[in-house]
Structure 1
Amino acid sequence: MSAEKSPVGGHVPVAGGLATGGLKYAAKMGAEVIQVFTSNPRGWALPEGNPAEDALLRERDDIPVYVHSPYLVNFGSPSAETLEKSLATVRHSLRRGHAIGALGVVVHTGSAVSQTYDEAMAQIHEHVLPLLEEIPEDGPHLLLEPMAGQGAMLCAMVQDLGPYFDALERHPRLGVCLDTCHAFAAGHDLAAPGGVKATLDALVDTVGEGRLKLVHANDSKDVCGSKKDRHENIGKGHIGEAAFAELFRHPEVAGVPFVIETPGRDAGPHGEDVATLKRLRDS
């Protein structure tokens, strides 16, 4: 595979061990890159790692690794308890990511809930910027993932990343994870002629070149602008194969890994999605 080609893979379950189980599943689906949880995605528990498993992942130079932080994290929450737990959880994800040699830790951009947008962004500046300063030079980037636009979400359209990046002083350890289903649901019509180029050009205009570090490649069960975050298998939703082929051709995506988070409870459907993306990439 050319150095400029984007590796394709998926989020892997870690039953049987973070590396042992994760890499076994990755092999079954033909993954060239993986994403893992290092703690319960729907809880606040912060478990210690297994040094042997950590070393197995860290030493696999042939397969890049990314960490997805738990879904409960919300830097914009007006609840002091939720904010405190969110910061502790992402700090844990960054520490565990560093231990396994992860290139990035994905975090949802969050919601203002009952406070104002400006209050939420001021809170992010005050509390998340110091978190970025803690990341060592060889540590993972913190990757902001815009959401589908439900409720008081702080970031949905790629242009919304501008104020978020400004609040974090455009820190050098800050990057972007673009979820195609989220972007489509938020209103970026990736399926329309020129829609992919317009979206990625807007992303570059907003945050600068080289900030896109990861793509969550997911088709959408719902139409553009639905504000519904419902993933579909590649080519079987409203985005369609052509849009994913166009994604691979945009210069900002050169070499950026693609990770699927599509429906399926075993490696069969996931392997099909990985194979489809590889075909679109290589065609």
Structure 2
Amino acid sequence: MVLVGCHVSIAGSIDLAVGRALDSGCDTFQIFSRNPRGWKAKDIDPDVAGAFRRALDASGIGPAVDHMPYLPNLASPDDAIYEKSVAALTDELRRCEVLGIPYLVTHLGHHRGAGTGTGQERVVAAINRALEEAGAQGVMLLLENTAGEKNSVGSTVADLCRIFEGIDGKERIGICFDTCHAFAAGYDLRTGEGVDAVLEEIDDLIGPGHLRIIHLNDCKGDLGSGLDRHEHIGLGSIGEEGFRHILSRPAIRGCPLICETPVDGRRGDDGNIAKVRELAGA
């Protein structure tokens, strides 16, 4: 048995996302709590938050996962962008608390030429500030690995470890592991040996128990390409055999699996969820 779901829309009202998740066959699901392409967000109406909580309780699925919007850059050397990014992270942690969402996934940003070490220091300071200012003790912030693109500060397990080590409230931090990003960054997930190697690296450098969510995505790019382009499960460069290896590992099977895969004429969200269950033998 695996818990698998997808990213669903909040169009119309956040509470409607729960029904959409059910319609897609989700056991778990991910949302943006607001427009992901803008800086400003309206406060969540208490009635809407209550409706979301009631719908989630009645659905029998979960956990719900929230994802940070696209614009914040916690590694930015630009002070204006950086301050807006810290404020956005702080606000999103509070929004999760209002909605009763236990996990917030964040990308770690890009240093824009300032250097990886400098960018990582900016991320650490941003997260420490946001966790302190937000409160939101019931919300765990998950650091997501990136695809090895230019100026990235969190593409390797060692990168994530350096950031993790600098954070004060480590009990409030976990890892969201994205399979597409890892493959694009050079982790070969097509073999059992490759999957075991990255899981062992996470345990050795960050510690057991910190892997909390899996973003389960195939990759359009080649191994080590740095290309952050998601593909349907089994139809990309990782392939079905790779996902059989991935989905056979207890450390991964024990985490909620979120597909952020395309919706097109080949397959929709329900099709990718069904494929994951097939490959997992669930």
The TM-score, its normalising length taken from structure 1, stands at 0.91
What residue is the counterpart of 1:44 in the other structure? 39
- Structure 2 residue 20 is the aligned partner of structure 1 residue 25: yes
Letter of the structure 2 residue corresponding to residue 19 of structure 1: D
| Post-superposition CA distance 1:82-136 (Å, at most 9, x none) | 1111111111111111111112111101111121223223323333213223454
- Structure 2 residue 109 is the aligned partner of structure 1 residue 115: no
| Post-superposition CA distance 1:50-107 (Å, at most 9, x none) | 3233223324242210100011121110011111111111111111111111121111
- Structure 2 residue 36 is the aligned partner of structure 1 residue 55: no
| Post-superposition CA distance 1:231-277 (Å, at most 9, x none) | 000111111122223223323224210001101169x6110000111
In 1, are the aligned partners of 2:191 and 2:245 still within 8 Å (CA)?
no
Letter of the structure 1 residue corresponding to residue 244 of structure 2: A
Q: 1:220 to 1:126 in 2, by over 3 A?
A: closer
In 2, are the aligned partners of 1:209 and 1:252 still within 8 Å (CA)?
no
Give how far 1:16 is off.
Answer: 2.3
What residue is the counterpart of 1:221 in the other structure? 220
- Structure 2 residue 30 is the aligned partner of structure 1 residue 35: yes
What SS does the corresponding residue of 1:30 show, helix, strand or coil? coil
Q: 1:231 to 1:125 in 2, by over 3 A?
A: closer
Report the identity percentage.
Answer: 36
Tell me, which stretches of 5 or more residues in structure 2 are unaligned? none
Q: C-alpha separation between the residues in 2 aligned to 1:113 and 1:6?
A: 39
- Between Structure 1 and Structure 2, how many residues are aligned? 278
Q: C-alpha separation between the residues in 2 aligned to 1:183 and 1:135?
A: 30
In 1, are the aligned partners of 2:192 and 2:245 still within 8 Å (CA)?
no
Give how far 1:26 is off.
Answer: 1.0
Q: 1:122 to 1:205 in 2, by over 3 A?
A: same
What SS does the corresponding residue of 1:194 show, helix, strand or coil? helix
What residue is the counterpart of 2:128 in the other structure? 129
Q: How does 1:184-223 map to 2 (within 5 A)?
A: 184-223=183-222
What SS does the corresponding residue of 1:172 show, helix, strand or coil? helix
Q: C-alpha separation between the residues in 2 aligned to 1:15 and 1:78?
A: 34
Q: C-alpha separation between the residues in 1 aligned to 2:50 and 2:209?
A: 29
**Alignment RMSD (CA, Å):** 2.0
What residue is the counterpart of 1:175 in the other structure? 174
Letter of the structure 2 residue corresponding to residue 188 of structure 1: Y
In 2, are the aligned partners of 1:175 and 1:213 still within 8 Å (CA)?
yes
Q: How does 1:79-118 map to 2 (within 5 A)?
A: 79-118=78-117
Tell me, which stretches of 5 or more residues in structure 1 are unaligned? none
In 2, are the aligned partners of 1:218 and 1:232 still within 8 Å (CA)?
yes
Give how far 1:137 is off.
Answer: 6.7
